[in-house]
Chain A
């Protein structure tokens, strides 16, 4: 009712001060192209470092292989020696064990040929505890 003057909560005389209500999305940072450039640059730098290190690893691997090749005669000789020792022990035990079996030829070769046939692990570790044969066959799997 416009007649009676009622106390209302009105804005101050002259109105309120201006304030910014618009969206504030400032343009900042690098452009899209330069971001791509930086990403690709980091990638290329990473690849370059990777390829250089892989070449170095290849050189180190070749050196390890050369060391193995240099040691091969020794390793082969020792392996052969070990094989012959095991076969000798087995032969002597067989002579003791099968003395009384009729018709048993000690050290008989099961092949018809004269060639040296490399023995299998079961033959080398025949009279030893089973654990040694298991270790010979599967021991390499324990390397992590």
Chain B
């Protein structure tokens, strides 16, 4: 597919500088390694427009792993609901959530 393929002719490998999934010190995997791997395997070599259409799910999972927007929005909603219910007096947090030191192993 590449016309000139200069990068493999010159022996340049830029991917090892740009990806989290390249080789890391002490072989420690990145937190989102699995998601990045899935996305790259899905999107490689098929071009930008096709990748945007076909790899939407993998891309969204990878984005969520990196930035956790949906997770944090969900947590915020739960917290706000809890504060509202505590102000209304309909909810008291259980002892495990009230800041008592837990001495169980």
Contacts and interface: CB of A to CB of B under 8 A. Distances in A.
Interface in B28-60: 31, 34-35, 38, 57, 60
> Which 3 pairs between the two chains have the least Cβ-Cβ distance?
A110-B70, A129-B99, A127-B97
Interface stretch (B3-11, B14-22, B79-87): B79-87
A115 B79 CA distance: 26
Interface of B: 31, 34-35, 38, 57, 60-61, 64-65, 68, 70-72, 74-75, 77-79, 81-82, 85, 91, 93-94, 96-99, 105
Contact of A97 (B57, B61, B82, B96): B82
A35 to B, nearest CB: 48
Interface stretch (A1-9, A39-47, A54-62, A88-96): A88-96
B48 to A, nearest CB: 21
Interface stretch (A22-30, A64-72, A116-124, A136-144): A116-124
B99 A122 contact: no
In this complex, which of B34, B68, B79, B81 has the most chain A Cβ atoms within 10 angstroms of its Cβ?
B81
A123 B71 CA distance: 8
Contact of A94 (B38, B61, B78, B96): B78
A112 interface: yes
A132 B75 contact: no
B34 A122 contact: no
A126 B96 contact: no
A34 interface: no
A89 to B, nearest CB: 5
A131 B101 CA distance: 12
Interface in A70-129: 78, 89, 93-94, 96-98, 101, 108, 110-113, 115, 117-118, 120, 122-123, 126-129
Given A113-B61, A131-B99, A126 B70 contact: no
Given A101-B81, A113-B61, A127-B78, A93 B97 contact: yes
22 contacts: A89-B94, A89-B97, A93-B93, A96-B91, A97-B81, A97-B85, A98-B81, A110-B64, A111-B65, A113-B38, A115-B34, A118-B31, A122-B71, A122-B72, A122-B75, A123-B75, A126-B75, A126-B79, A127-B79, A128-B97, A128-B99, A129-B98
